[in-house]
Amino acid sequence: MSEKATQKLVETYRGAQSALPGAGGWLARRRETAIDAFTQTGLPHRRLEEWKYTDLRQVLEKAILVPAPAHDGALVLPELHSATAFSAIDRYVLVFVNGVYQPGLSQLAHLSKGAELCALAEVLHEQWAKDIVERRFDDARQAEDIVDLNTALMSDGACLRIRKGVKLDKPLHLFFLGADAGASHTRNLILLENEAEATIFETHMGEVASFADIVTDVALGEGAKLNHVKLQDESSEAIHLSTMRTRLAASSKLSSFTLTLGCGVSRGQNFVLFSGEGAEANVDGAYALKGKQHLDQFCVIDHAVPGCTSHTLFKGVLDGASEGVFQGKVVVRPQAQKTDGRQMTHALLLSRDAAMNAKPELEIYADDVQCAHGSTVGELSKDAIFYLRSRGIPEAEARRLLVLAFLDETLELAPHEDARDALKLLVSDWFSEAGL
């Protein structure tokens, strides 16, 4: 460990250590191991294959790495489109400002029986929380290593446990607002026991130079079902690092969809591990980037058991001098026969200066499987634009129609109808604002 950003983060840990949740308990010891490991490896950099397109070391060099202050005083949630995107949907809301849970802004009345929801500090005495934090997925080591940073510094987060057979009656909305510049380290823990079901919305917004480091650990019991819709609309100075790790027991189902509109530099990691047969994971997303935005989607699906299905489709449009990255891997272990694995990524470049790097990979060690992967990078078809214009549709509108049509295929995969409509509206607005 020599470089500055790593050092600063380690110092932050040393300074905050005693005040972090779980001091004196198992987590304190776990944090120590994690910070040691992090000190060893340091922040990832471009010489590591998995970080080739996003040099986190360089990105964080100039970032504000000290924790954002606990926000005090009256706070009004922003009235931005993306802030209110889901507000017409009857839902529970858990608000975090600068990474700190805000009971006053949250709406949690009458949570269904059998659903337990609390902030990180309150759950640490529970065995399930310990189990879930201790997990490692191990199929993309250098990508997962960064979780150590979060383990050492995690200070708050949403923890949801749904008991066997219980279905959460309304979506749970985790709303993260960056109100001041600075870092936050969030850990969400989600456990759906056998046959339990839940829908979670996750929004990240803010107009500040925040560094949000989020790890969401999910465990799905047999037959459990999680729908997850994430919306990212932060400022162009924001750095967003998120890792979602989902372990699926037999016949469980994860449907996760991410829409990214606002970010400065964003790295979204998704790890899926199938541990029981007949499970299904859909990890999809859409994005629309402009200016100098940089978005890196990293997705590893591990078919460790037979008979599971995984589908991944990421589609995005890139304008200005923005840059997109998709790195994905579907691993099919020797015993994982009857796997159905698909991973696709398609990008449209709207400007000459925009760029896309796509690298979907398959690693197949079983023979009786159905797997496919692919990626395309293209531009809007001039002929199609001409055809629409020849019917009187102005050029900007023609482009907008074609781009929305392009994104529609993946937006359709967002696993909640009203949320899906809300996302479509946001994307449509994005074009009006981008003035394309």
Partner 1 sequence: MLEIKNLHVTVDGKEILKGIDLDIGAGEVHAIMGPNGSGKSTLSYVLAGRDGYEVTKGSVRFKGKDLLDMSVDERAAAGVFLAFQYPLEIPGVTTMNFLKTALNAQRKARGEEELDAVRFLKLVREKAKPLNVTDDMLKRALNVGYSGGEKKRAEVLQMSLLEPSLAVLDETDSGLDIDALKTVAEGVNALRSPERAMIVITHYQRLLDYIVPDVVHVLSNGRIVKTGGKELAHELEKSGYAGYGADAA
Does 280 contact partner 1 by CB under 8 A? no
Q: Please state, in angstroms and rounded to a whole number, the distance separating the CA atoms of residues 264 and 108.
A: 32
Binding mask 334-373 for partner 1 (x = CB under 8 A): ----------------------------------------
DSSP helix/strand/coil, 254: strand
Shortest distance, CB of residue 382 to partner 1, whole angstroms?
7
Q: Is 235 exposed, middle or buried (0-12, 13-18, 19+ CB in 10 A)?
A: middle
387 binds partner 1 (CB under 8 A): yes
What CA–CA distance (Å, rounded) separates 205 from 80? 9
Quote the CA–CA distance of 380 and 402 in Å, as a whole number.
7
CA atoms of 373 and 336, how far apart (whole Å): 18
User: Residue 78 is inside which H or E element, if any?
Assistant: none
Residue 405 tokens, joined: 């049509």
Q: How far is CA 36 from CA 1, 131, 142, 145, 151, in A?
A: 10, 20, 16, 12, 11
Residue 75 engages partner 1 in binding (rule: CB under 8 A): no
| Cα dihedral 341, 324, 264, 64 sign | positive
User: Of the ranges 95-103, 202-210, 252-260, 379-387, which one interacts with partner 1 (CB under 8 A)?
Assistant: 379-387
Q: How far is the CB of 427 from partner 1 (least distance, A)?
A: 13
**Order of strands across the sheet with 100-101?**
100-101, 92-97, 172-178, 197-206, 225-233, 253-262, 280-289, 309-318, 340-349, 370-378
DSSP conformation letters of 264-312? SEEEEEEEEEE-STT-EEEEEEEEEE-TT-EEEEEEEEEE-SSS-EEEE
We find the least distance from the C-beta atom of residue 325 to partner 1, in angstroms, to be 24
- Residue in the structure block whose two tokens are 């589609």: 315
Write down the least CB distance from residue 233 to partner 1, Å: 23
The answer to whether residue 259 forms part of the interface with partner 1 (CB under 8 A) is no
Verify binding: residue 408, partner 1, rule CB under 8 A: yes
Query: Least Å distance between CB 268 and partner 1?
Result: 24
Dihedral Cα 41, 49, 302, 119, nearest 10 deg: 40
Of 156-164, 249-257, 325-333, 382-390, which part binds partner 1 (CB under 8 A)? Answer: 382-390
Q: Of 70 and 405, which has the nearer Cβ to partner 1?
A: 405
State whether residue 194 is helix, strand or coil: coil
Stretch that binds partner 1, among 115-123, 139-147, 325-333, 390-398 (CB under 8 A): 390-398
Among 11, 405, 425, 432, which residue sits at the site for partner 1 (rule: CB under 8 A)? 405
Measured from the CB atom, the residue of 64 and 286 that comes closer to partner 1 is 286
Does position 425 interact with partner 1 (CB under 8 A)? The reply is no
CB within 8 A of 391, min separation 6: which ones?
Answer: none
Task: Give the interface segment with partner 1, choosing from 33-41, 94-102, 239-247, 405-413 (CB under 8 A).
Answer: 405-413
- Which of 2, 18, 127, 390 contacts partner 1 by CB under 8 A? 390
Q: Report the nearest approach of partner 1 to the CB of residue 278 (Å).
A: 32
Neighbours of 375 (CB within 10 A): 17
Q: Is 380 among the residues that bind partner 1 (CB under 8 A)?
A: no
Nearer to partner 1, 245 or 400 (CB): 400
113 binds partner 1 (CB under 8 A): no
Least CB distance to partner 1 at residue 383 (A): 6
Task: Choose one: 15-23, 176-184, 210-218, 386-394; the region binding partner 1 (CB under 8 A).
Answer: 386-394
Please count the residues of this chain forming the interface with partner 1, following the rule CB under 8 A. Answer: 22
Tell me the closest approach of the beta carbon of residue 377 to partner 1, in angstroms. 17
- Interface with partner 1 (CB under 8 A), residue from 71, 277, 384, 420: 384
3-class DSSP state for residue 152? helix
Query: Cα–Cα distance between 66 and 212 in angstroms, integer?
Result: 11
Rounded least distance, CB 396 to partner 1, Å: 10
Residues engaged in binding partner 1 (CB under 8 A): 382-384, 386-395, 397-398, 401-402, 404-406, 408-409
